[in-house]
């Protein structure tokens, strides 16, 4: 009886969706629906929210004049009002369904006011080559099998995407030149023990571990994430030091980007607004300053004890506020935009790498002011600033890490 009642409610939800489509059609040429093609009577799976959000974001923005989201017993879905003709839209959306790695798990239907335009060729089963409808009718596979398959494919897709975005983000920082004493493709900068090849080896080594951290965020409860990724981070550090002969290339980045990517996994999987990523980072890092109670031999501890400079820990503890502000400088991924963003970060963030190389707090503050004063400087000013940094053996590893975080945020859709 419970199943019958649920099915009746689902039918009612479908009828309500149809009525909403008709109403939306009165104001627009065409109505698009974005809904999952997930098996089983229970449609309100986390998976459904993840997939609908993903594919909503893939629909060309020119087609979207009005966007509405509904959460019903028949699952979450989007209704989109469009001023474009239905036939052209359907061809474009069918290409998304056919070509995307997860396309067979979504229904992108188009309503022209008279009928819903849908595909003529039936889809095959997820698990075999038979027509999906026949497998459903004959109950060849369990619902659990099918959902598990969709879950695993969805996670695999996101892991591959996040890996690509992380790699792109690190390279956009690493390939920037000039860069104020930091390693670039053309120079070691102020680092006698580092070069571009070493940094690339380190990047390639830590990348799989950062993806693992994303997966932890995807799969775990929020309170469990930080402790789990810290274990992964320590393993990443160990492997990085192996390929760099104990040179610290990206230890800070493993820490702060690891927190950010795991927060992204948590936010997307739990269908939160992407803007909530800052609060999630803050929640994950709520106890991070307790490290200072035990870490009494590091330079980071010295900076905290002597000058109350919190460094990377402080930035994530506060929810990466300077990274959030830096997005306003990162107008694009051009060299100029990346350079200005890095300069802004140097001027405002607590960078313990800079403090260590500055020798004293007054010089540290003076250098930060130089970058603030030159934020709108000419290309010649930037070159002169780079020369000054190299001459004085300065570097800004903490700020460079935060530039990577800023690039990552922009690539996942934040501005």
pLDDT (tens digit per residue) in 198-208 = 999 999 999 99
- Distance from C-alpha of 256 to C-alpha of 175, rounded to nearest angstrom: 20
- Within its chain, how far is the Cα of 182 from the centroid? 25
Token pair, residue 192, equals 């006698």
For position 281, which CATH number holds? 1.10.4200.10
Same-domain status, 291 and 164: yes
Residue 231's alpha-carbon distances to 212, 228, 301, in angstroms, are 11, 6, 21
**In the chain, how long is the greatest CA-to-CA distance?**
80
Q: Identify the DSSP state of 349.
A: S
Same-domain status, 208 and 326: yes
Same-domain status, 123 and 179: no
What pLDDT shows up at residue 2?
A: 41
Q: Which residue has the higher pLDDT, 297 or 5?
A: 297
- Distance from C-alpha of 114 to C-alpha of 29, rounded to nearest angstrom: 11
- Distance from C-alpha of 269 to C-alpha of 281, rounded to nearest angstrom: 15
Name the region of 182 (left: φ>0; alpha: ψ -120 to 50; beta: rest). Answer: beta
Same-domain status, 136 and 162: no
pTM across the whole model: 0.92
What pLDDT shows up at residue 106?
A: 95
Half-sphere exposure of 267 (CA within 13 A, CB side): 21
Instruction: Please say whether the beta carbons of 47 and 81 come within 8 A.
Output: no
State which of 140, 175, 201 marks the end of a domain. Answer: 140
- Distance from C-alpha of 8 to C-alpha of 378, rounded to nearest angstrom: 68
State the residue for tokens 């975005």: 165
Instruction: Please say whether the beta carbons of 28 and 18 come within 8 A.
Output: no
Q: What is the residue-wise DSSP string for 261-292?
A: HHHHHHHHHTT--GGGHHHHHHHHTTTGGGGG
Q: Identify the DSSP state of 122.
A: P
Same-domain status, 270 and 392: yes
Same-domain status, 164 and 85: no
C-alpha distance across the termini of the chain, in Å = 50
Instruction: Report the range of poorest mean pLDDT among 36-45, 64-73, 334-343.
Output: 36-45
Residue 44's alpha-carbon distances to 10, 217, 270, in angstroms, are 11, 20, 12
State which of 140, 175, 210 marks the end of a domain. Answer: 140
Same-domain status, 43 and 86: yes
State which of 140, 172, 194 marks the end of a domain. Answer: 140
State the residue for tokens 């929640």: 283
Same-domain status, 57 and 177: no
- Beta bridge partner(s), residue 69: 78
What pLDDT shows up at residue 308?
A: 80
Same-domain status, 117 and 196: no
pLDDT higher than threshold 80 for residue 292: no
Name the region of 113 (left: φ>0; alpha: ψ -120 to 50; beta: rest). Answer: left
Same-domain status, 125 and 237: no
Same-domain status, 291 and 184: yes
Per cent of the chain over pLDDT 90 is: 78
Same-domain status, 132 and 161: no
Residue 282: domain span = 149-411
The number of distinct structural domains making up the chain is 2
What pLDDT shows up at residue 29?
A: 96
What pLDDT shows up at residue 277?
A: 98
- DSSP run (H or E) holding 35: strand 30-36
What pLDDT shows up at residue 43?
A: 86
């Amino acid at each position: 009886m419970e199943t019958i009642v649920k099915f009746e409610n689902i039918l009612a939800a479908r009828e309500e969706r149809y009525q909403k489509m008709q109403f939306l059609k009165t104001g627009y040429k065409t109505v698009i629906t974005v809904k999952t093609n997930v098996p089983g009577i229970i449609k309100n799976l986390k998976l459904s929210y993840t997939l609908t959000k993903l594919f909503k974001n893939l629909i060309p923005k020119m087609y979207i004049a009005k966007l509405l989201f509904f959460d019903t017993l028949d699952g979450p879905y989007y209704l989109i009002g469009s001023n474009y003709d239905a036939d052209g839209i359907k061809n474009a959306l069918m290409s998304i369904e056919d070509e995307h790695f997860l396309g067979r798990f979504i229904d992108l239907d188009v309503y022209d006011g008279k009928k819903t335009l849908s595909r003529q060729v039936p889809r095959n089963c997820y698990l075999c080559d038979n027509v999906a409808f026949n497998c459903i009718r004959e109950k060849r596979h369990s619902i659990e099998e099918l959902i598990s398959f969709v879950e695993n494919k969805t996670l695999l897709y996101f892991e591959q995407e996040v890996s690509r975005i992380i790699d792109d983000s690190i390279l956009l920082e690493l390939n920037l030149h000039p860069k104020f004493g930091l390693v670039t493709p053309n120079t070691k900068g102020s680092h006698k023990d580092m070069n571009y090849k070493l940094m690339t080896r380190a990047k390639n080594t830590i990348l799989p571990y950062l993806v693992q951290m994303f997966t932890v965020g995807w799969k775990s409860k929020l309170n469990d994430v930080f402790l789990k990724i810290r274990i992964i981070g320590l393993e990443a550090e160990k492997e990085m030091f192996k390929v760099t002969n104990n040179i610290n290339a990206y230890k800070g980045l493993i820490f702060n980007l690891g927190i950010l990517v795991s927060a992204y996994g948590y936010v997307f999987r739990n269908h939160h607004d992407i803007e909530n990523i800052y609060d999630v980072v803050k929640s994950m890092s709520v106890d991070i300053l307790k490290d200072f109670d035990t870490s009494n031999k590091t330079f980071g501890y010295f900076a905290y004890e002597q000058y109350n400079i919190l460094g990377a820990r402080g930035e994530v503890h506060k929810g990466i506020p300077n990274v959030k502000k830096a997005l306003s400088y990162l107008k694009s991924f051009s060299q100029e935009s990346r350079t200005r963003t890095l300069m802004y970060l140097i001027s405002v963030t607590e960078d313990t790498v800079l403090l260590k190389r500055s020798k004293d707090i007054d010089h540290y503050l003076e250098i930060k002011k130089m970058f603030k004063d030159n934020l709108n400087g000419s290309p010649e000013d930037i070159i002169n600033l780079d020369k000054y940094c190299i001459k004085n053996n300065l570097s800004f590893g903490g700020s460079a890490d935060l530039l990577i975080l800023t690039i990552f945020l922009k690539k996942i859709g934040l501005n």
